[in-house]
Amino acid sequence: MNVLITGATGYFGHGFVKHLLDNNLAERICIFSRGEFAQHTMRQKFNDDERLRWFIGDVRDQDRLRRAMDGCDTVVHAAALKRIEVAEYNALECIATNVHGTENVVKAAIDAGVRVAVLLSTDKACEPVTTYGLSKAMAEQIFHSAINYAPLHHITDPVRNFETEVWRTDFRVCRYGNVAGSTGSIIPTWRKLLETQDWVPVYDPTATRFWMHRDEAIELVMQAIRKDAKQHDPIANTWIPTLKAYEVKDLALAMGARGRITTPRGQEKKHEAMRAGDTSDMAKRMTVEQLREALKNVE
C-alpha cells in the first residue's frame, strides 16, 4: 500500500502511522499536514523511518494535494477543523477546510488515479446542530457523490495493446465519536486541569458521549480500506461502529474529579448519534470502574 494521510500529525495520524509501520502494511506513507514543527516532532518519534515521506501542505491547496498524491493508491483524509467553538466563531474558515478542502481531496484523488479514499467523519455529522457538524455532513456528501463523476482509469499493456486493469476511485466514509485522548478533547483537557485543581467543568452531568479508543478508530479505517462487510452500511457506503457510551459525570468520577456545573458551549447536543436511532443515551453504558480501567490505556 502506498498511502497519503491528510492531517497526519494529529492524534489519530500518529496511531495510524504506527499501526502501518509496525505491521508492514505500507511501502510508502506520505505525511501531509501544514505544521512544520509537528512534522519535525513526528519525524523524530518514528526515527526518520525510510518509508515515510513528508509534505508540508494544506488541503485548501489542490495543486499541492495533487503533487503529494502522485503514485499513491490509498488516501486517508483526516485533516479538519474540529473544535466546535472555533468553528462557530470562524464559520467561513471551517467551511474552507472541512468542505472545500474535502472537495480538493476528492479532485486530487481522482486526478492521481487513487484506488481508495477514506474520509474520517464524526457523530456530529448525524442530524447536525453546529457549524462543525454541518461541515462534516457536507464532507460526507462530497465523498458519497464523488463516485458519480469519478472516471475510469486504465492500464494498457503496451506490447499486446490491451487493458490489464480498469478501476474507478472508490470513496468511503468512516463515522465515529470523539476518540478518547485526542488532541483538545475532554480527557487531556481535564487531565491538565486536575494538575492544579480537584474539579472539572461540566455543563450537564447526565449528558452522554460515545467511547472509542484510538485502536478501534484505526481498525475501523482499516476495515473501510479493505472494504470489510463488518460495520459497513452498504446504502451509505459508510463504516459506523457499535460503541459503548458514558455519562459525563461518570467520566469525572473515574478521573477522580468533582464536576462543577458550567454554561454549555454553543449548540452542543446532550446526546450524540451515530445514525438515526443509534444515540449515546441508548447505547450500552460504561460504569465508573469500566471507565477507570479504560482510561489506563489512553495516552
C-alpha to C-alpha distances, 201 to 159, 188, 250, 252, 264, nearest whole angstrom: 69, 13, 13, 9, 10
pLDDT at 229: 83
pLDDT at 217: 96
- For 87, the grid coordinates are 468553528
Average pLDDT over residues 29-39: 96
Alpha carbon distance 278, 6 (integer Å): 29
List 124, 136, 192, 269, catalytic entry: 124
Residue pLDDT, tens place only, 99-119: 999 999 999 999 999 999 999
The angle, 0 to 180 degrees and rounded to 10, between the axes of the packed helices 36-45 and 11-22 is 30
The architecture of the domain spanning 2-179+212-239 is 3-Layer(aba) Sandwich (3.40)
Specify the range with the lowest mean pLDDT, choosing from 111-125, 212-226, 240-254, 262-276: 262-276
Q: Which residue has the higher pLDDT, 159 or 196?
A: 196
Decide if 263 contacts 199 (C-beta within 8 A).
no
Q: Which residue has the higher pLDDT, 208 or 260?
A: 208
- Residue at 11: amino acid letter: Y
Model confidence band, residue 8 (pLDDT cutoffs 50, 70, 90): very high
In the residue annotation, 124 being an active-site residue is answered as: yes
pLDDT at 159: 60
Alpha carbon distance 183, 33 (integer Å): 15
Q: What does the domain layout of the chain look like in residue ranges?
A: 2-179+212-239
Specify the range with the lowest mean pLDDT, choosing from 248-257, 266-275, 280-289: 266-275
pLDDT at 266: 62
- Residue 57 pLDDT > 70: yes
- pTM for the model: 0.93
Residue pLDDT, tens place only, 274-286: 988 899 999 999 9
Decide if 3 contacts 28 (C-beta within 8 A).
yes
- Residue 290 pLDDT > 80: yes
Contacts 24+ apart (CB under 8 A), 230-233: 233/275
Average pLDDT over residues 7-31: 97
Closest CA to 5 of 78, 106, 91: 78
Alpha carbon distance 10, 51 (integer Å): 19
The whole-angstrom distance between residue 54's C-alpha and the CA centroid of its chain comes to 20
Q: Which residues have C-beta within 8 Å of that of residue 258, sequence separation ≥ 6?
A: 198, 199, 200, 252
Residue 261's beta-bridge partner residues? 202
Q: Which residue has the higher pLDDT, 254 or 157?
A: 254
pLDDT at 34: 94
- Residue at 270: amino acid letter: K
Alpha carbon distance 26, 18 (integer Å): 11
